[in-house]
Structure 1
Amino acid sequence: MNATKPSNAGVRRPADLARRHGLSAQTVRNYERDGVLPPAERAPNGYRRFTETHARALHAYLALIAGHGHATGGEIMRAINRGEIETALRVIDRSHALLQRDRETLNAVEEAVTLLTATRQPAQGRGTVPISALAHRLGVRPATLRKWERAGILQPAREAATGHRVYAPDDVRDAELAHLLRRGGYRLDHIAAVLHRVRDAGGAGPLAASLGQWRERLTARGRAMLTGAARLAAYLDGDDLPISARPTAAAGRSEPDPRPR
Protein backbone atom coordinates (compact mmCIF):
# COMPACT_ATOMS: atom_id res chain seq x y z
CA MET A 1 0.00 0.00 0.00
CA ASN A 2 1.32 3.41 -0.95
CA ALA A 3 0.35 6.36 1.26
CA THR A 4 0.29 9.77 -0.33
CA LYS A 5 2.10 12.35 1.81
CA PRO A 6 2.06 16.08 1.32
CA SER A 7 5.28 17.52 -0.07
CA ASN A 8 5.46 19.92 2.89
CA ALA A 9 3.43 19.07 5.97
CA GLY A 10 3.67 22.67 7.21
CA VAL A 11 2.10 24.21 4.11
CA ARG A 12 -1.62 24.88 4.11
CA ARG A 13 -4.07 26.00 1.48
CA PRO A 14 -6.41 28.97 2.02
CA ALA A 15 -9.27 26.49 2.34
CA ASP A 16 -7.46 24.72 5.19
CA LEU A 17 -7.28 27.91 7.23
CA ALA A 18 -10.77 28.98 6.26
CA ARG A 19 -12.52 25.76 7.16
CA ARG A 20 -11.49 25.87 10.81
CA HIS A 21 -13.18 29.24 11.33
CA GLY A 22 -16.16 28.88 9.02
CA LEU A 23 -14.73 31.32 6.51
CA SER A 24 -14.39 31.17 2.76
CA ALA A 25 -11.01 30.60 1.13
CA GLN A 26 -11.40 33.96 -0.62
CA THR A 27 -11.80 35.69 2.74
CA VAL A 28 -8.46 34.27 3.86
CA ARG A 29 -6.86 35.45 0.61
CA ASN A 30 -8.33 38.90 1.19
CA TYR A 31 -6.92 38.98 4.72
CA GLU A 32 -3.45 38.26 3.34
CA ARG A 33 -3.90 40.87 0.62
CA ASP A 34 -5.01 43.47 3.18
CA GLY A 35 -2.04 42.82 5.47
CA VAL A 36 -3.84 41.37 8.48
CA LEU A 37 -2.02 38.11 7.71
CA PRO A 38 1.71 38.16 6.91
CA PRO A 39 2.68 37.80 3.24
CA ALA A 40 2.42 34.24 1.97
CA GLU A 41 4.94 32.59 -0.31
CA ARG A 42 3.75 31.58 -3.75
CA ALA A 43 4.16 28.15 -5.24
CA PRO A 44 5.46 27.90 -8.83
CA ASN A 45 1.85 27.77 -10.00
CA GLY A 46 1.10 31.07 -8.17
CA TYR A 47 -0.96 29.56 -5.37
CA ARG A 48 -0.47 30.96 -1.87
CA ARG A 49 1.35 28.74 0.57
CA PHE A 50 0.18 29.36 4.12
CA THR A 51 1.90 27.99 7.21
CA GLU A 52 1.27 27.51 10.90
CA THR A 53 2.33 31.13 11.37
CA HIS A 54 -0.56 32.27 9.20
CA ALA A 55 -2.90 30.02 11.14
CA ARG A 56 -1.85 31.69 14.41
CA ALA A 57 -2.16 35.13 12.85
CA LEU A 58 -5.70 34.35 11.66
CA HIS A 59 -6.59 32.97 15.08
CA ALA A 60 -5.33 36.17 16.69
CA TYR A 61 -7.07 38.48 14.22
CA LEU A 62 -10.48 36.86 14.64
CA ALA A 63 -10.13 37.10 18.43
CA LEU A 64 -9.14 40.76 18.17
CA ILE A 65 -12.24 41.46 16.07
CA ALA A 66 -14.46 40.12 18.86
CA GLY A 67 -12.96 42.50 21.40
CA HIS A 68 -11.87 45.53 19.39
CA GLY A 69 -13.92 45.43 16.18
CA HIS A 70 -12.89 44.88 12.56
CA ALA A 71 -11.21 48.23 11.98
CA THR A 72 -9.13 48.25 15.17
CA GLY A 73 -8.30 44.55 14.90
CA GLY A 74 -7.04 45.10 11.37
CA GLU A 75 -5.02 48.13 12.45
CA ILE A 76 -3.35 46.07 15.17
CA MET A 77 -2.48 43.15 12.89
CA ARG A 78 -1.15 45.34 10.09
CA ALA A 79 1.12 47.16 12.53
CA ILE A 80 2.36 43.82 13.91
CA ASN A 81 3.06 42.46 10.45
CA ARG A 82 5.04 45.60 9.60
CA GLY A 83 7.14 45.06 12.70
CA GLU A 84 5.67 48.14 14.42
CA ILE A 85 4.94 46.57 17.77
CA GLU A 86 4.80 49.89 19.64
CA THR A 87 2.19 51.17 17.19
CA ALA A 88 0.09 48.06 17.72
CA LEU A 89 0.32 48.43 21.50
CA ARG A 90 -0.77 52.06 21.30
CA VAL A 91 -3.83 51.03 19.27
CA ILE A 92 -4.65 48.39 21.89
CA ASP A 93 -4.23 50.93 24.70
CA ARG A 94 -6.56 53.33 22.89
CA SER A 95 -9.20 50.63 22.53
CA HIS A 96 -8.99 49.75 26.23
CA ALA A 97 -9.35 53.44 27.08
CA LEU A 98 -12.54 53.57 25.02
CA LEU A 99 -13.91 50.57 26.90
CA GLN A 100 -13.10 52.27 30.19
CA ARG A 101 -14.91 55.40 29.04
CA ASP A 102 -17.95 53.29 28.12
CA ARG A 103 -17.91 51.80 31.62
CA GLU A 104 -17.76 55.27 33.15
CA THR A 105 -20.64 56.38 30.92
CA LEU A 106 -22.70 53.39 32.05
CA ASN A 107 -21.98 54.17 35.70
CA ALA A 108 -23.02 57.78 35.11
CA VAL A 109 -26.24 56.71 33.41
CA GLU A 110 -27.13 54.33 36.26
CA GLU A 111 -26.48 57.01 38.86
CA ALA A 112 -28.33 59.71 36.98
CA VAL A 113 -31.35 57.58 36.13
CA THR A 114 -31.66 56.57 39.77
CA LEU A 115 -31.51 60.18 40.92
CA LEU A 116 -33.82 61.37 38.18
CA THR A 117 -36.56 58.86 38.90
CA ALA A 118 -36.26 59.54 42.63
CA THR A 119 -36.16 63.34 42.60
CA ARG A 120 -37.64 64.70 39.40
CA GLN A 121 -40.91 66.58 39.40
CA PRO A 122 -43.17 66.41 36.37
CA ALA A 123 -42.77 69.28 33.95
CA GLN A 124 -45.47 71.89 34.30
CA GLY A 125 -48.16 71.05 31.80
CA ARG A 126 -47.41 69.48 28.45
CA GLY A 127 -46.32 72.62 26.68
CA THR A 128 -42.97 74.24 26.18
CA VAL A 129 -41.05 76.57 28.46
CA PRO A 130 -38.64 79.38 27.54
CA ILE A 131 -34.99 79.31 28.41
CA SER A 132 -35.46 81.73 31.31
CA ALA A 133 -38.04 79.48 32.97
CA LEU A 134 -35.89 76.35 32.60
CA ALA A 135 -32.81 78.17 33.89
CA HIS A 136 -34.80 79.33 36.94
CA ARG A 137 -36.09 75.78 37.50
CA LEU A 138 -32.55 74.39 37.59
CA GLY A 139 -30.92 77.33 39.34
CA VAL A 140 -28.48 78.03 36.50
CA ARG A 141 -27.95 80.92 34.08
CA PRO A 142 -29.44 80.86 30.56
CA ALA A 143 -25.86 81.01 29.24
CA THR A 144 -25.26 77.60 30.85
CA LEU A 145 -28.14 76.07 28.91
CA ARG A 146 -26.82 77.57 25.69
CA LYS A 147 -23.41 76.08 26.44
CA TRP A 148 -25.01 72.66 27.01
CA GLU A 149 -26.74 73.01 23.67
CA ARG A 150 -23.44 73.70 21.89
CA ALA A 151 -22.03 70.58 23.56
CA GLY A 152 -24.87 68.45 22.14
CA ILE A 153 -26.55 67.91 25.50
CA LEU A 154 -29.78 69.77 24.77
CA GLN A 155 -31.69 70.06 21.50
CA PRO A 156 -34.41 72.70 22.00
CA ALA A 157 -36.71 73.79 19.24
CA ARG A 158 -37.06 77.42 18.13
CA GLU A 159 -40.15 79.57 17.89
CA ALA A 160 -40.91 80.24 14.25
CA ALA A 161 -41.69 83.93 14.78
CA THR A 162 -38.94 84.97 17.20
CA GLY A 163 -36.30 82.23 16.93
CA HIS A 164 -36.25 81.95 20.73
CA ARG A 165 -35.45 78.59 22.27
CA VAL A 166 -38.34 76.61 23.68
CA TYR A 167 -38.00 73.46 25.77
CA ALA A 168 -40.49 70.61 25.56
CA PRO A 169 -41.02 68.19 28.50
CA ASP A 170 -38.37 65.83 27.13
CA ASP A 171 -35.93 68.73 26.91
CA VAL A 172 -36.67 69.58 30.53
CA ARG A 173 -35.97 65.96 31.47
CA ASP A 174 -32.65 66.08 29.61
CA ALA A 175 -31.73 69.35 31.31
CA GLU A 176 -32.50 67.91 34.74
CA LEU A 177 -30.40 64.86 33.99
CA ALA A 178 -27.53 67.01 32.70
CA HIS A 179 -27.73 69.17 35.81
CA LEU A 180 -27.44 66.12 38.06
CA LEU A 181 -24.43 64.84 36.15
CA ARG A 182 -22.69 68.22 36.17
CA ARG A 183 -23.10 68.36 39.94
CA GLY A 184 -21.46 64.92 39.99
CA GLY A 185 -18.42 66.31 38.19
CA TYR A 186 -18.95 64.76 34.76
CA ARG A 187 -17.55 66.45 31.64
CA LEU A 188 -19.87 67.95 29.04
CA ASP A 189 -18.88 65.47 26.32
CA HIS A 190 -19.54 62.64 28.76
CA ILE A 191 -22.96 64.02 29.59
CA ALA A 192 -23.76 64.39 25.88
CA ALA A 193 -23.05 60.65 25.43
CA VAL A 194 -25.38 59.84 28.33
CA LEU A 195 -28.18 62.00 26.93
CA HIS A 196 -27.75 60.37 23.54
CA ARG A 197 -28.38 57.01 25.23
CA VAL A 198 -31.45 58.35 27.01
CA ARG A 199 -32.96 59.72 23.80
CA ASP A 200 -32.24 56.53 21.86
CA ALA A 201 -33.94 54.47 24.57
CA GLY A 202 -37.03 56.70 24.56
CA GLY A 203 -36.54 58.13 28.04
CA ALA A 204 -35.03 57.37 31.43
CA GLY A 205 -37.52 54.59 32.21
CA PRO A 206 -36.85 52.39 29.15
CA LEU A 207 -33.13 53.09 29.50
CA ALA A 208 -33.11 51.86 33.09
CA ALA A 209 -34.56 48.54 31.91
CA SER A 210 -31.74 48.10 29.39
CA LEU A 211 -28.80 48.97 31.65
CA GLY A 212 -28.24 45.33 32.63
CA GLN A 213 -27.89 44.30 28.99
CA TRP A 214 -25.55 47.20 28.35
CA ARG A 215 -23.29 46.07 31.22
CA GLU A 216 -23.33 42.49 29.96
CA ARG A 217 -22.15 43.68 26.54
CA LEU A 218 -19.29 45.64 28.09
CA THR A 219 -18.27 42.62 30.16
CA ALA A 220 -18.31 40.38 27.08
CA ARG A 221 -16.23 42.94 25.21
CA GLY A 222 -13.68 43.10 28.01
CA ARG A 223 -13.36 39.32 28.15
CA ALA A 224 -12.98 39.16 24.37
CA MET A 225 -10.13 41.66 24.66
CA LEU A 226 -8.39 39.30 27.08
CA THR A 227 -8.78 36.41 24.65
CA GLY A 228 -7.48 38.56 21.80
CA ALA A 229 -4.45 39.57 23.86
CA ALA A 230 -3.62 35.93 24.62
CA ARG A 231 -3.85 34.87 20.99
CA LEU A 232 -1.89 37.87 19.80
CA ALA A 233 0.83 37.02 22.32
CA ALA A 234 0.89 33.44 21.01
CA TYR A 235 1.40 34.80 17.50
CA LEU A 236 4.20 37.11 18.58
CA ASP A 237 5.94 34.42 20.64
CA GLY A 238 6.22 32.01 17.73
CA ASP A 239 9.75 31.10 16.68
CA ASP A 240 8.65 31.24 13.05
CA LEU A 241 7.35 34.82 13.15
CA PRO A 242 8.06 36.44 9.78
CA ILE A 243 11.02 38.82 9.67
CA SER A 244 8.67 41.61 8.61
CA ALA A 245 6.71 41.20 11.87
CA ARG A 246 9.75 41.43 14.14
CA PRO A 247 10.25 44.80 15.84
CA THR A 248 13.85 45.24 14.68
CA ALA A 249 12.87 44.84 11.04
CA ALA A 250 10.79 48.02 10.86
CA ALA A 251 12.92 49.99 13.29
CA GLY A 252 15.96 49.67 11.04
CA ARG A 253 18.29 49.38 14.00
CA SER A 254 19.60 45.86 13.41
CA GLU A 255 23.36 45.64 12.91
CA PRO A 256 25.04 43.35 10.38
CA ASP A 257 26.44 40.17 11.85
CA PRO A 258 30.23 40.61 12.04
CA ARG A 259 30.87 36.89 12.13
CA PRO A 260 32.05 35.22 8.91
CA ARG A 261 29.37 33.45 6.95
Structure 2
Amino acid sequence: MPHKMAEKVLIVYAHQSTGSFNAAAKDAAVTALTAQGCKVEVSDLYAMKFKASATVDDITGEVKDAEHFQYGEETMLAWKEGRLSADITEEHRKLSEAELVIFQFPMYWFTVPAIMKGWMDRVLTLGFAYTSEKRYSQGIFKDKKAMLSFTTGSQESMFSANGINGDMNVTLWPLQVLAPQIFWAPPHIPAVARDRMLEAWRTRLQGLLGEVPLTFTPSDSFDGGRGFQLKEDVQEKHSANEFGLSVGIHLGKPLPPNSQIKAGV
Protein backbone atom coordinates (compact mmCIF):
# COMPACT_ATOMS: atom_id res chain seq x y z
CA MET A 1 0.00 0.00 0.00
CA PRO A 2 1.59 3.33 -1.01
CA HIS A 3 2.57 5.72 1.76
CA LYS A 4 0.28 8.72 2.12
CA MET A 5 2.05 11.82 0.93
CA ALA A 6 2.01 14.99 2.98
CA GLU A 7 -0.95 17.20 2.29
CA LYS A 8 0.94 20.37 3.24
CA VAL A 9 4.56 21.09 2.45
CA LEU A 10 6.62 24.18 3.21
CA ILE A 11 9.71 24.93 1.12
CA VAL A 12 12.02 27.47 2.73
CA TYR A 13 14.06 28.68 -0.24
CA ALA A 14 17.16 30.87 -0.26
CA HIS A 15 18.72 31.86 -3.55
CA GLN A 16 18.96 35.23 -5.22
CA SER A 17 18.55 34.05 -8.83
CA THR A 18 15.51 32.58 -10.57
CA GLY A 19 17.90 31.03 -13.11
CA SER A 20 19.91 29.09 -10.52
CA PHE A 21 20.13 25.35 -10.03
CA ASN A 22 18.57 25.88 -6.60
CA ALA A 23 15.59 27.54 -8.26
CA ALA A 24 15.27 24.56 -10.60
CA ALA A 25 15.40 22.15 -7.66
CA LYS A 26 12.77 24.20 -5.81
CA ASP A 27 10.52 24.29 -8.87
CA ALA A 28 10.93 20.54 -9.37
CA ALA A 29 9.78 19.95 -5.80
CA VAL A 30 6.77 22.23 -6.18
CA THR A 31 5.72 20.52 -9.41
CA ALA A 32 6.26 16.95 -8.20
CA LEU A 33 4.54 17.42 -4.85
CA THR A 34 1.63 19.43 -6.25
CA ALA A 35 1.04 16.70 -8.82
CA GLN A 36 0.60 14.27 -5.93
CA GLY A 37 -2.11 16.39 -4.35
CA CYS A 38 0.01 18.27 -1.84
CA LYS A 39 -0.57 21.90 -0.94
CA VAL A 40 2.88 23.46 -1.30
CA GLU A 41 3.86 26.87 0.08
CA VAL A 42 7.21 28.49 -0.66
CA SER A 43 8.92 31.02 1.56
CA ASP A 44 11.22 32.71 -0.98
CA LEU A 45 13.40 34.48 1.54
CA TYR A 46 15.27 36.83 -0.79
CA ALA A 47 12.10 37.79 -2.67
CA MET A 48 10.43 38.42 0.68
CA LYS A 49 13.45 40.48 1.83
CA PHE A 50 13.24 38.43 4.99
CA LYS A 51 15.08 40.07 7.90
CA ALA A 52 17.93 37.85 9.01
CA SER A 53 18.90 39.46 12.32
CA ALA A 54 17.09 38.58 15.54
CA THR A 55 16.47 41.92 17.27
CA VAL A 56 14.08 43.74 19.55
CA ASP A 57 12.24 44.88 16.42
CA ASP A 58 10.71 41.40 16.27
CA ILE A 59 8.49 42.41 19.19
CA THR A 60 5.69 44.97 19.15
CA GLY A 61 5.09 46.94 22.31
CA GLU A 62 7.23 47.08 25.41
CA VAL A 63 9.79 44.46 26.34
CA LYS A 64 10.11 43.05 29.81
CA ASP A 65 13.75 44.07 30.38
CA ALA A 66 15.15 46.54 27.85
CA GLU A 67 18.41 46.99 29.75
CA HIS A 68 19.24 43.27 29.75
CA PHE A 69 17.41 42.15 26.62
CA GLN A 70 17.21 38.35 26.23
CA TYR A 71 15.88 37.49 22.80
CA GLY A 72 14.60 34.00 23.60
CA GLU A 73 12.71 34.93 26.75
CA GLU A 74 11.32 38.16 25.31
CA THR A 75 10.08 36.59 22.07
CA MET A 76 8.51 33.71 23.97
CA LEU A 77 6.54 36.21 26.04
CA ALA A 78 5.62 38.17 22.90
CA TRP A 79 4.49 34.95 21.20
CA LYS A 80 2.24 34.09 24.13
CA GLU A 81 0.75 37.59 24.06
CA GLY A 82 0.44 37.86 20.27
CA ARG A 83 3.03 40.61 19.97
CA LEU A 84 5.53 39.13 17.50
CA SER A 85 6.19 40.91 14.21
CA ALA A 86 3.94 40.03 11.29
CA ASP A 87 6.66 38.31 9.24
CA ILE A 88 7.39 35.86 12.07
CA THR A 89 3.70 35.22 12.71
CA GLU A 90 3.13 34.38 9.03
CA GLU A 91 6.01 31.90 9.02
CA HIS A 92 4.62 30.38 12.22
CA ARG A 93 1.38 29.74 10.36
CA LYS A 94 3.13 28.05 7.47
CA LEU A 95 5.29 25.92 9.74
CA SER A 96 2.39 24.89 11.98
CA GLU A 97 0.40 23.65 8.99
CA ALA A 98 3.25 21.85 7.23
CA GLU A 99 3.84 18.13 7.63
CA LEU A 100 7.06 18.30 5.62
CA VAL A 101 9.57 21.16 5.47
CA ILE A 102 12.24 21.29 2.76
CA PHE A 103 15.11 23.75 3.09
CA GLN A 104 16.47 24.54 -0.39
CA PHE A 105 19.72 26.51 -0.50
CA PRO A 106 23.33 26.77 -1.66
CA MET A 107 25.77 25.80 1.09
CA TYR A 108 27.71 28.85 2.25
CA TRP A 109 30.74 28.32 4.47
CA PHE A 110 29.62 24.82 5.52
CA THR A 111 26.13 25.89 6.54
CA VAL A 112 22.94 27.62 5.38
CA PRO A 113 23.02 31.20 4.01
CA ALA A 114 22.64 33.98 6.56
CA ILE A 115 19.09 34.78 5.46
CA MET A 116 18.05 31.16 6.09
CA LYS A 117 19.87 31.04 9.42
CA GLY A 118 17.91 34.18 10.28
CA TRP A 119 14.69 32.35 9.44
CA MET A 120 15.70 29.60 11.87
CA ASP A 121 16.74 32.06 14.57
CA ARG A 122 13.56 34.12 14.33
CA VAL A 123 10.85 31.63 13.34
CA LEU A 124 11.83 28.74 15.62
CA THR A 125 10.70 30.80 18.59
CA LEU A 126 11.16 29.56 22.15
CA GLY A 127 7.79 28.28 23.33
CA PHE A 128 6.38 27.96 19.81
CA ALA A 129 8.98 25.54 18.41
CA TYR A 130 10.70 24.14 21.51
CA THR A 131 11.19 24.42 25.25
CA SER A 132 13.90 23.08 27.53
CA GLU A 133 11.67 20.07 28.21
CA LYS A 134 10.22 19.65 24.71
CA ARG A 135 13.05 19.17 22.25
CA TYR A 136 14.69 16.49 20.13
CA SER A 137 12.64 13.26 20.17
CA GLN A 138 10.23 14.82 22.68
CA GLY A 139 9.96 18.07 20.77
CA ILE A 140 6.87 20.07 19.86
CA PHE A 141 7.42 19.31 16.17
CA LYS A 142 8.46 15.68 16.61
CA ASP A 143 5.78 14.48 14.17
CA LYS A 144 6.95 16.75 11.36
CA LYS A 145 9.59 15.81 8.84
CA ALA A 146 12.26 18.14 7.53
CA MET A 147 15.15 17.82 5.14
CA LEU A 148 17.96 19.77 3.53
CA SER A 149 18.21 20.02 -0.25
CA PHE A 150 21.28 21.98 -1.23
CA THR A 151 24.06 22.62 -3.68
CA THR A 152 27.77 22.68 -2.95
CA GLY A 153 30.56 24.58 -4.63
CA SER A 154 33.00 21.70 -4.11
CA GLN A 155 33.07 18.20 -5.49
CA GLU A 156 31.85 15.26 -3.40
CA SER A 157 35.38 13.91 -2.92
CA MET A 158 36.37 17.15 -1.19
CA PHE A 159 33.72 16.51 1.49
CA SER A 160 34.91 12.98 2.29
CA ALA A 161 36.61 11.70 5.43
CA ASN A 162 39.93 12.20 3.64
CA GLY A 163 38.93 15.33 1.71
CA ILE A 164 40.16 18.86 2.23
CA ASN A 165 36.73 20.12 3.40
CA GLY A 166 36.26 17.31 5.89
CA ASP A 167 33.52 14.72 6.26
CA MET A 168 30.11 16.04 5.12
CA ASN A 169 28.51 13.84 7.80
CA VAL A 170 30.20 15.96 10.47
CA THR A 171 29.14 19.20 8.76
CA LEU A 172 25.49 18.11 8.66
CA TRP A 173 25.22 16.58 12.12
CA PRO A 174 23.27 19.36 13.93
CA LEU A 175 20.75 20.11 11.18
CA GLN A 176 18.84 17.10 9.95
CA VAL A 177 15.84 14.71 10.16
CA LEU A 178 15.54 13.05 6.76
CA ALA A 179 18.63 12.24 4.74
CA PRO A 180 19.72 15.24 2.65
CA GLN A 181 19.48 15.74 -1.08
CA ILE A 182 22.94 16.95 -2.05
CA PHE A 183 23.65 18.36 -5.49
CA TRP A 184 27.41 18.19 -5.72
CA ALA A 185 29.06 21.15 -7.47
CA PRO A 186 26.47 21.80 -10.22
CA PRO A 187 28.44 24.77 -11.69
CA HIS A 188 31.34 22.46 -12.48
CA ILE A 189 29.57 19.62 -14.30
CA PRO A 190 28.00 19.34 -17.78
CA ALA A 191 24.35 20.32 -18.34
CA VAL A 192 23.36 16.70 -18.95
CA ALA A 193 24.74 15.76 -15.52
CA ARG A 194 22.73 18.57 -13.91
CA ASP A 195 19.62 17.25 -15.65
CA ARG A 196 20.30 13.79 -14.23
CA MET A 197 20.59 15.24 -10.73
CA LEU A 198 17.24 16.97 -11.07
CA GLU A 199 15.62 13.80 -12.38
CA ALA A 200 16.96 11.83 -9.42
CA TRP A 201 15.44 14.50 -7.13
CA ARG A 202 12.06 14.20 -8.89
CA THR A 203 12.18 10.44 -8.43
CA ARG A 204 12.96 10.74 -4.74
CA LEU A 205 10.13 13.21 -4.22
CA GLN A 206 7.59 10.54 -5.19
CA GLY A 207 8.06 8.72 -1.89
CA LEU A 208 9.76 11.19 0.39
CA LEU A 209 7.49 10.70 3.42
CA GLY A 210 7.89 6.96 3.17
CA GLU A 211 11.59 7.24 3.89
CA VAL A 212 13.11 6.16 7.18
CA PRO A 213 14.53 9.19 9.03
CA LEU A 214 18.16 9.38 9.98
CA THR A 215 19.08 7.64 13.21
CA PHE A 216 19.36 9.81 16.32
CA THR A 217 19.70 8.90 19.98
CA PRO A 218 16.32 9.53 21.69
CA SER A 219 16.04 12.09 24.46
CA ASP A 220 15.17 9.52 27.11
CA SER A 221 18.63 8.00 26.68
CA PHE A 222 20.07 11.01 28.51
CA ASP A 223 19.98 11.79 32.21
CA GLY A 224 18.74 15.33 32.76
CA GLY A 225 19.92 15.24 36.33
CA ARG A 226 23.50 14.66 35.22
CA GLY A 227 23.77 17.50 32.73
CA PHE A 228 22.03 15.54 29.98
CA GLN A 229 24.74 12.93 29.76
CA LEU A 230 24.12 9.56 28.12
CA LYS A 231 22.75 7.19 30.77
CA GLU A 232 25.22 4.65 32.08
CA ASP A 233 23.09 1.65 31.08
CA VAL A 234 22.87 3.00 27.51
CA GLN A 235 26.63 3.44 27.41
CA GLU A 236 27.12 -0.10 28.66
CA LYS A 237 24.70 -1.45 26.06
CA HIS A 238 26.77 0.05 23.26
CA SER A 239 30.22 -0.37 24.81
CA ALA A 240 31.15 -3.32 22.59
CA ASN A 241 30.01 -1.67 19.35
CA GLU A 242 32.65 -0.85 16.78
CA PHE A 243 31.24 2.61 16.09
CA GLY A 244 29.74 5.38 18.20
CA LEU A 245 26.01 6.01 18.31
CA SER A 246 26.21 8.95 15.92
CA VAL A 247 28.51 11.66 14.66
CA GLY A 248 27.72 13.79 17.71
CA ILE A 249 27.26 11.07 20.36
CA HIS A 250 30.25 8.99 19.36
CA LEU A 251 31.41 7.76 22.81
CA GLY A 252 35.01 8.32 21.73
CA LYS A 253 34.65 5.59 19.11
CA PRO A 254 35.05 5.84 15.32
CA LEU A 255 32.20 7.74 13.70
CA PRO A 256 29.49 5.60 12.09
CA PRO A 257 30.09 5.85 8.33
CA ASN A 258 27.65 7.99 6.31
CA SER A 259 25.18 8.20 9.19
CA GLN A 260 24.13 11.71 8.11
CA ILE A 261 23.91 10.96 4.39
CA LYS A 262 21.88 7.76 4.18
CA ALA A 263 18.89 6.74 6.29
CA GLY A 264 18.99 3.61 8.40
CA VAL A 265 22.80 3.50 8.62
TM-score (norm 2): 0.21
| Structure number with larger C-alpha Rg | 1
Q: What TM-score comes out, normalization by structure 1 length?
A: 0.21
- Write 1 or 2 for the structure with the bigger share of helix: 1
Answer 1 or 2: higher relative contact order, Cα 8 Å, separation at least 6.
Answer: 1
